[in-house]
Structure 1
Amino acid sequence: MSTRLPALTVVGSINLDIIATTDRLPTAGETIGGGVLQQQPGGKGANQAVAAARLGGSFRMIGAVGNDAQGRQMLEALSSAGVDTSDLAVLDGAATGTALIVVDRDGENQIVVCPGANSAFSLEGVEFAPDEAVLCQLEVGLDVVLEAARKSSGFFVLNAAPAMDLPAELLERCDLVIVNETEYELIPALADAKLVAVTYGKDGSAMFEHGRKVAEAPAVSVAVANTIGAGDAFCAALVLALRSGLPYSPALAVANAVGADAVGDPSSQPALARLDAYVARVGATTT
């Protein structure tokens, strides 16, 4: 595997996560007391960009925050993690995106996202280098994701979350789609996609080419503290592992190990080792 990680740009959401931790998740109409409240940086896009930066290398984040205290807090968190924020938009008249999250003692969660500035930015003036991998999610407008797909000529990845119907043009452009098992079932068109990585929680992950399983890797057993940022850390790690030359199965194993570290951390943007440490941990080698 190359010691120099490839350039990666994340186009996506930036949120303030407001998290209530309780013994169990409430049912419809139920009020549960005794919660513990905390606030921290989040958003699928920002989580993936921070994970990529902590894994090591050169990373850029494209997205938007409001011109408010929360937006300044999110920008500081990204910059402190080593993410290039020079192409982030600060929008007057728009609130910074916010996610309201309830987490139970087992790390399971319920999330409501209020997009704010995430739904109000464009890629006007943004360019992508030919050798630059681009990673998007669906917490920003679908039109922005499509524009990123059209502008990018390099390795283009979509984390298709939250699940929704995807235009044929977007799916055809994707070099890789990453979803969890529920999202895979909710998006039937993925069965025909050229390359799809699917996560199965404690059952590991697998890679599919046009609906045919071509690789898999087991999960890493770990005590669960918080599942919010685990999928995002997995996405960043998988893209970097594949672009660094690892075959499918070792790349999945590396991403599983990174996701396991994320699950064991209570933060949406967990502390991570460098990517080569995970490569060594799973004994991965290039072909």
Structure 2
Amino acid sequence: MSTAKITVIGSLNIDMVTETTVVPEQGETIIGSGFSSFTGGKGANQAVACARLGAQVTMIGCVGEDAMAMQLREALGREGIDMRHVKTVPHQSTGIAAITVCDSDNRIIVVPGANYCLLPEDVLALEDVIAASDIVMLQHEIPPATVEAAIRLANKLGVRVILNPAPAMRLDDELLRQLYLITPNEYELAIVTGTEQLAQTQEQRLAAYPHPIVMTAGSNGAYYRSDETGTGHVPGHKVEAVDTTGAGDTFNGALAVRLSEGAALAEAVAFAVAASALSVTKLGAQSGMPLRHEVEAFLLGAQ
């Protein structure tokens, strides 16, 4: 069992996944090839990724007053995640994500529902939970004011914060300085920094952000930079991709777990790249997330 204690503050959704061989044009109706429903949401996904890798995980968020909320509570509870601080919001629907999968890639529409009812005062009331954490994980599927309140509280308490800025939005530099790490992809980094055009090289993209960063790059792995490590790159692994939906969330969870355990940034990024590669080989964001021994075996085989 990992020694990592991680608190995830974020969204809980039900993912409704439609598989198709053709993406419909506007006004067009087509016949799909399959449909599945999974528990999801970037917050819940990252919580599951951490739990599968052995961490002690606490989830903070909101669900609606409906059957989908029960599905989420039961599923995350089976993973051993502490759900005591997930609030039920009366007269609200649980968040959903409508996902279309075509040619092993995805397009996603998120309807936040109860996720946007997680307010700054909800987070501030849980100061003792955050203080007991090794790392707090955040994303942007909850109100921006709540994300900001959580960052400031964790910073005051001396707790490290990893922000996965998705969906992407421009962020104030004063707030960014309070983060331990930010984990955008190339597209998200351009929005976070206000860069209208992506730079020519990955190194130039990292240089556009003045603080510690890990930038994911899909099948090309991940790039990172910090004052201690300088700039580095961990290449991706060749796998047969089935569904990329949970790859980024798996990456973030794996990164947080290894950093909480005291791993160096380069080692943590390598572990996260391997975990995310394994996650795309199965359908569903959470169902595809690997266990600790699977990632370790995969890394041994890749050497």
**What is the deviation of 1:118?**
0.3
Of stretches 164-173 and 228-237 in structure 1, the one that deviates more from structure 2 is 164-173
User: What's the secondary structure of 1:198's corresponding residue?
Assistant: strand
Equivalent pair of 1:10/1:48 in contact (CA under 8 Å)? yes
Match of 1:208 in 2: 225
Answer whether contact 1:25 1:110 (CA < 8 A) is retained.
Answer: no
TM-score by length of 2: 0.86
User: Residues 20 and 281 (structure 1 numbering): CA distance in 2 closer, same or farther, change over 3 Å?
Assistant: closer
Contact 2:12 2:41 in 1 (8 A): yes
Structure 2 vs 1, CA of residues 39 and 167 (structure 1 numbering), >3 Å: closer, same or farther?
same
| 77, 89, 92: which one aligns with 1:91 | 89
Cα drift, residue 272 of structure 1? 4.4
Going from structure 1 to structure 2, the CA distance change for 1:5 and 1:44 (only over 3 Å counts) comes to same
Please name the residue that 2:198 is paired with. Answer: none
Task: Count how many residue pairs are aligned between Structure 1 and Structure 2.
Answer: 279
- Contact 1:13 / 1:63 at 8 angstroms: preserved in 2? yes
Matched, 1:241 2:258: yes
Letter in 2 for 1:187: V
TM superposition shift of 1:81: 1.2
Shift of 1:179: 1.1
- Say whether the 8 Å CA contact 1:54–1:271 is kept in structure 2: no
Q: Secondary structure at the match of 2:83?
A: coil
Structure 1 pair 255/32, CA: closer, same or farther in 2 (3 Å)? same
Cα deviation, 1:47-94, whole Å, max 9, x if unaligned, reads: 000110010021100000001111111111110111110111001011
Q: Deviations over 1:118-177 (max 9, x none)?
A: 001222421212553100000110111111112113111100111111123321111100
1:282 is matched with 299
Runs of 5+ unmatched residues, structure 1: none
Aligned to 1:115: 112
Q: Which runs of 5 or more residues in structure 2 are unaligned?
A: 195-205
**Equivalent residue runs for 1:99-248 within 5 Å:** 99-104=97-102, 106-122=103-119, 123-127=123-127, 128-129=130-131, 131-152=133-154, 153-188=158-193, 191-209=208-226, 214-248=231-265
Does the 8 A contact of 1:250 with 1:282 survive in 2?
no
Give the superposed CA RMSD.
Answer: 2.0
1:192 positional shift? 3.1
Identity %: 36
Task: Please state whether the residue corresponding to 1:187 is helix, strand or coil.
Answer: helix
